[in-house]
Amino acid sequence: MSNKKTTDTPSTEPTATVSRRGFLKLAGASGFATATGSLTSSARAAAATPDGTPEQIHLTWGNNPATEVVISWASLAPATNPRVHISCGGERKITVHGVQRTYTDGLNGTVVFTYHARLHGLHHSTDYEYEVTADNDSNAGQPFTASFRTAPHGRAPFRWTSYGDLATPNTGWVLSSPQSRFAVQAVERFQPLFHLLNGDLCYANLNPTHQPDVWRDFGNNNQTSSANRPWMPCPGNHEIEFNNGEQGYESYLTRYTLPENGTRFPGRWYSFRVSSVLFISLDADDVVYQDAAAFVAGPSPLVPAASTGNPPIEPGTSFYVRGYSNGEQTRWLERTLRWAAEDREVDWIVVQMHQDALSSSKTGNGSDKGIREAWLPLFDRYGVDLVLCGHDHDYERSYPVRGCNHHAGTDVATGQVVDTLQPRPVPSPSPDSTRFDTTHGTIHLILGGGGTSAPLDVYGVDAGDGKPQAQIFTRPNRPVPNTAKPGAFVRPGADAVEDAIWSAQRDTGTGYGIAVFDHDPGEPGGKTTITMNYYHAPGADQTPTANYELFETIELSKQRRGW
């Protein structure tokens, strides 16, 4: 695989301070703008000649969500003097210059230009307005304009939303669907402080000769929401692309500036805290057994454009990255969890990843023992409250789980007993429970119903006793020859099954939905809560719809730690 490096072009990044009114002040700032525009200005800029017109605008948190936000965007050609003008409460605009970051797609040779403006010294719980422009912006007279709100400082109520597996509205791409447009609109309907996007962002690697085009459609669809509030992603298997970096993440890492993790793998995993909730975003590609990333099925090889200099990729080749960090991510995770356990300002721990440790999907992927081995013991030890995933295109909620049952699985080929590390629900589950004290165990949610087109994942039920069953990957499943098609390859499915005794709720009506979380920090000496409302989109599997209806509500509660 090619190991081309992403290129950063330095530019001035002024030091920021904040006045009492919450207005951003930047030393050495210049270039004030006076024109205003709208959120659709970049969409109107369909210039015949590519230029520096900003598009695909999205926000992410900096290291401290109360004081730092990063504004990122792309343009079809190099931007001249890319910049953001930011203001607060109608005060004068201050300029922050964008840092250019580029990469060359390893399959079609397209050069992608992205820009990142890090805003320091913001005031907490404050609304800011901003414009994005460049000297060669064809919309310079009416530049892209949006606004955002910083996170609170200290304990305060807030809302976030989550789903994974979004794709794009352009049905010309594999796994894309018009529903992804409604999914983005759904985020805006609920007006969260931020959104968690749980991997498999746009499925560009399923459209290998058009990867940058797919990313562009994805970014321009998302900006109706992601320009107004941070969208915090994690990598999924479909972010792994041939010839785009050592783990295939070059496109993903070029587009996103994410909180620092202090390791030699920036951007793959990170954490941030809002109020008393610590959010941890992980890259499960590093630990899962299943091989579901870039894959050449054949029988013909995948031939990169001649300009890339990359050789053909032969049938049967896959980009399997399990173990790429050599345990560094897991060591970082344990340090982060240990710190959280000792910090009395942290009441809740929420983990985001793409693949699933607990999923009973039958036509999707199912569960992965790699996650159960590497991370579930840490979740138990340090009291993780909630795990949010995607990967299977449906909704499923587990009971609180803690520990595991050994030798509870069955090998699908031999019928022999297999140790799948079956998660154990605690205490004894009640099917009607909607309120949970997460000090007893971790709840896992499958939220893979963003907007991708695929049939509703059908849940497994054993024909003998009627109990829900789950498929489990317990060993690597690299591509094997396709006996029905000479010269071609297929990827085998899960190798084991187990009774899904941990499964509490499943949506069998539609694969599409969004989870809305409301955090109440509570009062000193009392309880703190997180209320989750899951809204699904009935009928969206047949006809895309903007109609999201309440499916279920659960409340998580525990004793507040700090004062």
Residue 2 forms part of a structural domain: no
Residues 124 and 69 in one domain: yes
Of 114, 149, 184, which residue is a domain's last? 149
CA distance 82 to 561: 45
Residue 154 forms part of a structural domain: no
Give pLDDT tens digits along the chain (563 positions).
Answer: 444 444 444 333 333 333 323 333 322 222 222 222 233 333 344 446 899 999 999 999 999 999 999 999 999 999 999 999 999 987 778 999 999 999 999 999 999 999 999 999 999 999 999 999 999 999 999 999 999 999 999 999 999 999 999 999 999 999 999 999 999 999 999 999 999 999 999 999 999 999 999 999 999 999 999 999 999 999 999 999 999 999 999 999 999 999 999 999 999 999 999 999 999 999 999 999 999 888 999 999 999 999 999 999 999 999 999 999 999 999 999 999 999 999 999 999 999 999 999 999 988 899 999 999 999 999 999 999 999 999 999 999 999 999 999 999 999 999 999 999 999 999 877 778 899 999 999 999 999 999 998 777 677 766 567 778 999 999 999 999 999 999 999 999 999 999 999 999 999 999 999 999 999 999 999 999 999 999 999 999 999 999 999 999 999 999 999 77
Residue 251 forms part of a structural domain: yes
Predicted pLDDT at 21: 30
Predicted pLDDT at 462: 65
Residues 228 and 332 in one domain: yes
CATH code for position 347? 3.60.21.10
pLDDT digits (tens, 9 = 90+) for 399-456: 999 999 999 999 999 999 999 999 999 987 777 889 999 999 999 999 999 999 877 7
Q: Which long-range contacts does 292-295 make (Cβ < 8 Å, 24+ apart)? A: 292/237, 292/365, 292/491, 293/205, 293/237, 293/238, 293/240, 293/248, 293/318, 293/319, 293/320, 293/321, 294/205, 294/208, 294/240, 294/241, 294/242, 294/248, 294/318, 294/319, 295/319, 295/479, 295/489, 295/491
Predicted pLDDT at 463: 52
pTM above 0.75?
Answer: yes
Residue 487 forms part of a structural domain: yes
Residues 81 and 221 in one domain: no
Which tokens belong to 291? Answer: 């091989």
Contacts of 50 (CB under 8 A, 6+ apart): 75, 76, 77
CATH code for position 121? 2.60.40.380
Q: Which domain holds residue 14?
A: 7-149
Of 149, 177, 196, which residue is a domain's last? 149
Residues 452 and 550 in one domain: yes
Which tokens belong to 425? Answer: 């629900």
Residue 1 forms part of a structural domain: no
CA distance 65 to 536: 29
Total number of domains constituting the chain: 2
Residues 210 and 95 in one domain: no
Q: Which residue carries 């109608």 as its tokens?
A: 90
Residues 169 and 139 in one domain: no
Residue 447 forms part of a structural domain: yes
CA nearest 96: which of 118, 124, 127?
A: 118
Of 95, 118, 149, which residue is a domain's last? 149
Residues 113 and 201 in one domain: no
Residue 13 forms part of a structural domain: yes
The three-class DSSP label of residue 234 is: coil
CA distance 248 to 44: 32
Predicted pLDDT at 18: 33
Residues 522 and 470 in one domain: yes
Q: How far apart are the first and last CA of the chain?
A: 53
Residues 125 and 225 in one domain: no
Residues 79 and 213 in one domain: no
Predicted pLDDT at 335: 98
Torsion of CA 222, 228, 233, 237, to 10 degrees: 0
CA distance 356 to 333: 17
DSSP string, 70-135: EEEEEESSPPSS-EEEEESTTPPPEEEEPEEEEEE-TTT--EEEEEEEEE-SPPTT-EEEEEEE-T
Residues 278 and 195 in one domain: yes
Residues 129 and 274 in one domain: no
Residue 155 forms part of a structural domain: no
